[in-house]
């Protein structure tokens, strides 16, 4: 068994898609503020978050199977590098999400208006979206990020504390499952307790996002709708947030091994 296997590629693609979706979720509030339909935008945002969380839960057994197969074939020396490939996939997924943000701000704006017209029926919106004619129309909205976006950012408006918090929380969320699985390699006598720790880690990261990050961005979007803030400022902070998310996935490479060792150490007090 080599380092790059079919399973590693499949799981990497899964993780890439998950992180692309979670990065694009930042576009929803921008779109909601743009069309002044924040409540409808939050409904779409919540749908995307649920899809990404569910996708993350689906890929976890496959990632666990990667460790099991390596253990059964006595080739655990590849696991470290394989998991780093998976973390790298989260970085690539985030970059793809950032590159697609301008396109999806336009697409989400149309989707939010359609959702409002359909009186909140997401299924109807999806049915209308996945048609050949709609795909052709949506393709016209494709655009790449431009340097002009960065010129609109005022460094005085950037909440650096929020940037750092989002970076750290993203790093923890990225390695939660992966560090727990590697901890089971470091402490094979506590395989079950170390693997189950991933739920706790991701739960804490999700709570921190809900308590420290999401409310502040939501308030900024409300300010734009109520003419108390500028759309340019909201766009600048959104770009800052996805940038901190990108650096968070890179920082996850640094936290991966220490996180696994910490989980292995903590679980010895639980058995």
- Say how far apart CA 49 and CA 21 lie, in whole Å: 8
Distances (CA, A) of 25 to 18, 31, 44, 213, 253: 11, 10, 9, 13, 23
Q: Considering only residues 103 and 117, tell me which one the structure prediction assigns the higher pLDDT.
A: 103
141 — phi, psi (to 5°)?
Answer: -85, 0
Among 70-84, 135-149, 162-176, 223-237, name the most confident range: 162-176
The predicted model scores a pTM of 0.85
pLDDT tops 60 at residue 153: yes
pLDDT value, residue 226: 83
Half-sphere exposure in the Cβ direction for 56 (13 Å, CA): 23
> Quick check: helix, strand or coil at residue 65?
helix
Question: Measuring CA to CA, which residue among 93, 94, 95, 115 is closest to residue 31?
Answer: 115
The domains of the chain are located at 6-267
pLDDT at 69: 76
């Amino acid at each position: 068994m080599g380092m790059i296997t079919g399973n590693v590629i499949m799981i990497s693609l899964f993780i890439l898609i998950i992180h692309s979706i979670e990065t694009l979720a930042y576009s929803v509030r921008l779109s909601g503020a743009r069309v002044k339909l924040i409540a409808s935008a939050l409904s779409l945002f919540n749908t995307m978050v649920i899809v990404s969380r569910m996708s993350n839960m689906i890929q976890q057994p496959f990632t666990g199977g990667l460790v099991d197969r390596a253990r059964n074939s006595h080739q655990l020396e590849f696991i470290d590098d394989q998991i780093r490939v998976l973390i790298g996939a989260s970085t690539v997924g985030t970059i793809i999400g950032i590159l697609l943000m301008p396109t999806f701000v336009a697409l989400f704006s149309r989707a939010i208006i359609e959702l409002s017209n359909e009186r909140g029926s997401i299924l109807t919106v999806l049915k209308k979206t996945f048609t050949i004619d709609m795909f052709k129309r949506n393709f016209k909205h494709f655009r790449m990020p431009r340097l002009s976006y960065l010129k609109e950012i005022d460094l005085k408006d950037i909440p650096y504390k929020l940037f750092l918090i989002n970076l750290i929380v993203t790093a923890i969320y990225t390695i939660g499952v992966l560090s727990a699985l590697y901890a089971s390699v470091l402490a094979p006598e506590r395989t079950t307790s170390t693997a189950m720790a991933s739920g706790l880690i991701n739960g804490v990261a999700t709570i921190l996002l809900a308590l420290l990050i999401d409310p502040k961005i939501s308030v900024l979007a409300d300010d734009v709708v109520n003419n108390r803030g500028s759309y340019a400022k909201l766009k600048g902070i959104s770009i800052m947030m996805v940038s901190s998310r990108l650096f968070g996935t890179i920082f996850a490479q640094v936290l991966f091994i220490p996180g696994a060792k910490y989980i292995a150490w903590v679980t010895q007090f639980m058995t």
